[in-house]
Amino acid sequence: MIGTGRRRLLLGALALWAALTIFSRLGGAPVYIINEGREGVYVRAMLDTGDWILPSVPNHVECGETIPDKPPLFHWIAGAATGVRGALASGRVLAGSELSRRFDEWTLRSPSAIAGVLMTLAVAVLGARLIGERAALLGAATLPATWQFVQQATYGRVDMVFATCAACAILLAGVALTSGARAAGTAAFAGLAVLAKGPLGLVLPGFAAGCWVALRSLRARSLGWLQPLPWLAASAVLVSIVVPWYGAALLKGGMALVRSHFLTENAGQFFGEPMPLTFYVTPWLADSFPWNLAAAASAWQALRRRRPDAEFLAVAWIAVLAFFEIASYKRRAYLLPAIPLAAMLAGVWLDDRLPGPASRGTEALSTAIGRTLARLPGWSAPAAAVCLGIATVGTLAALVTFSGTRFPDPLYAGAATIVGAAATLLAAAWLVHAVRTGDRWLTFAALLVALSAAYAGPVRTAQIGEALTSSPKPFVDRVVATLPPGEVVSVRGLGDDPSLLLLLYFPFPDRIVVVPQAEPPRTDPQPGFHLLGPDEWTWLQSRPEFPASGWRELWADVLRGRGLRVPLVLAQRSHSR
């Protein structure tokens, strides 16, 4: 019998490792990506208005509507994190604009980070019911060493929350279909996935599990084996989770919700203008390497041998990849729900090839870990000192390169970079040694350490440096410093999406008005302060009445973001002609 204490120790170590990799400097980078800014604007609107159902976002038009384009699970978690941090810092419960001002980059990304740790544990715990404890733990260990997983877990978007809920629904569906267990857990996580990203939360797990059901039914030439499963109870669980919010949101938003969430965001993206079929080739090859190759080999073996548990994972993994390949609109992050399935398939592949009793649980795994540590080469200590020196020199050289960039907590950033780079170099040396000596366990361990240390150390520092050099915050700070107290600024000619970065960091939502992109320019702007795009300012200057219309240019600057450089003019109109 497997020791419960040892299993808990391994799960705790796995959760700690994932948390350290993900939460390290989580709020260190300013938001400079429009997609991340969009979710931040929705969370701020929820906190400002106190409307946790369907807050109005009058300064931003998305899918033709002024409401959030996705359900609120991500925003609820971010709002709750903001409330908890605010209460802990102030000693009292905050609300409204006072709470909104506590919202920052860390709380924006916290839902994804929490979901990332939960996904790691879900693969280890739920996966054990499908493929055994050792294979599930091995698969879960690959997640903090997978680039797409680490990147999306530190990104303030709904994708990681959705992927975690959808993956749990798929895994529990596999348990129910292969062992006859209850399907209530499947329905619960599918309901949460719907609250994270809409109908896709039900469609994707249903499609993944349905493909395996179709395959098994074709082999059995019957659907009778499905009848004993408690589908009615599962449906009741799903309805109880999904209907309350959708009912309240429909009462509040009416057809605006239908147009935004169902027609544009889901049906429009699936059946709209098709993107190239080769779009996902590079993301699939690069973002989950090398574990995707092990997953592919494992899937091939599972389908050939017809091993029910691994075969379900193989079919579900292929089904998820195929679903997003069929969809017209494509994004790299859409492959995220396939990552935990690939990790479990990689765990099966590793379980078959690493020395020790395969699929014998945590005792055999912990014994193998201990033996691996005992087999570390004797030169590890001096090599660690050399790697630390090299990493220190390299980090100092990199900081000179970013000499114009002010890193938050520079000592912590430098130390994290040095330690991460040194660990990466040392693990790379172990990897070379392990490959030369044929030590499979050390090869696997060295890969895990090298990749996760690189992602949490130098790669994270590079990301923060890029974000700081492209941050919209200095521009917004300049606008706020120029505006007299109580004055409102009108934004014209910037565009709906770029304005999200401005809205996120502007501290007074009632003192900024963004003119929608689809709205034609006004022929006679009202007196006041105006932030104008280059075309808008040129058009105003070309009008014959401009010299006598009271316009004065205060300054010109560039709003920055990732792939964004928009020159803007802050001008004041003192009177109308």
Tokens of 572: 């004041």
Q: Does the pLDDT of residue 157 top 50, yes or no?
A: yes
Mean pLDDT of 169-197: 90
Q: Does the pLDDT of residue 362 top 60, yes or no?
A: no
CA angle at residue 447 from 444 to 450, to 5 degrees? 150
Answer yes or no: are the C-beta atoms of 279 and 330 closer than 8 Å: yes
Mean pLDDT of 49-74: 87
Maximum mean pLDDT: which of 26-35, 213-222, 508-517, 536-545: 26-35
Tokens of 425: 């170099």
Tokens of 329: 């609109």
DSSP state at residue 361: -
Q: What is the pLDDT of residue 415?
A: 78
Mean pLDDT of 73-80: 97
Per the DSSP assignment, residues forming a β-bridge with 429 are none
Return the higher-pLDDT residue of 306 and 568.
Answer: 568
Return the higher-pLDDT residue of 182 and 109.
Answer: 109
CA angle at residue 92 from 89 to 95, to 5 degrees? 100
Interval 11-40: pLDDT, tens: 999 999 999 999 999 999 999 999 999 999
Q: Does the pLDDT of residue 515 top 80, yes or no?
A: yes
Interval 400-448: pLDDT, tens: 665 555 666 666 777 788 888 888 888 888 889 889 888 899 899 999 9
Answer yes or no: are the C-beta atoms of 274 and 325 closer than 8 Å: no
Phi, psi at 379, each rounded to 5°: -85, 10
Q: What is the pLDDT of residue 268?
A: 78
Mean pLDDT of 329-352: 95
Answer yes or no: are the C-beta atoms of 437 and 396 closer than 8 Å: no
Tokens of 116: 């990332």
Q: Does the pLDDT of residue 256 top 90, yes or no?
A: no
Of the listed ranges 154-158, 295-299, 492-496, 520-524, the one predicted with least confidence: 520-524
Mean pLDDT of 536-553: 86
Per residue, the 3-state secondary structure of 409-446, as one string, reads CHHHHHHHHHHHHHHHHHHHHHHHHHHHHCCHHHHHHH
Q: What is the pLDDT of residue 223?
A: 64
Mean pLDDT of 316-337: 94
Q: Does the pLDDT of residue 267 top 90, yes or no?
A: no
Q: Does the pLDDT of residue 201 top 90, yes or no?
A: yes
Answer yes or no: are the C-beta atoms of 458 and 417 closer than 8 Å: yes
Mean pLDDT of 537-545: 86
- 513 sits in the region (left: phi over 0; alpha: psi -120 to 50; else beta) called beta
Interval 294-305: pLDDT, tens: 999 999 999 888
Residue 1: pLDDT band (50, 70, 90) is very low
Residue 310: pLDDT band (50, 70, 90) is confident
CA 573 to chain centre: 43
Q: Does the pLDDT of residue 502 top 50, yes or no?
A: yes
Q: Comparing C-alpha atoms, which of 332, 288, 329, 296 is closest to residue 314?
A: 296
Q: What is the CA radius of gyration of the chain?
A: 26
Is the preceding omega at residue 290 within 30 degrees of 0, hence cis?
A: yes
For 388, counting Cβ atoms within 10 Å of its Cβ (0-12 exposed, 13-18 middle, 19+ buried), the class is middle
Place of tokens 């925003």: 75
Cα–Cα distance, 493 to 511 (Å, whole number): 18
For 223, counting Cβ atoms within 10 Å of its Cβ (0-12 exposed, 13-18 middle, 19+ buried), the class is exposed
Of the listed ranges 33-42, 133-142, 331-340, 351-360, the one predicted with least confidence: 351-360
CA 221 to chain centre: 41
Answer yes or no: are the C-beta atoms of 50 and 95 closer than 8 Å: yes
Report the CATH number of the 473-573 domain.
3.40.190
Answer yes or no: are the C-beta atoms of 391 and 416 closer than 8 Å: no
Query: Rounded to whole angstroms, what are the CA distances from 389 to 241, 400, 419, 506?
Result: 54, 17, 10, 43
Mean pLDDT of 245-273: 86
Per the DSSP assignment, residues forming a β-bridge with 246 are none
Answer yes or no: are the C-beta atoms of 122 and 171 closer than 8 Å: yes
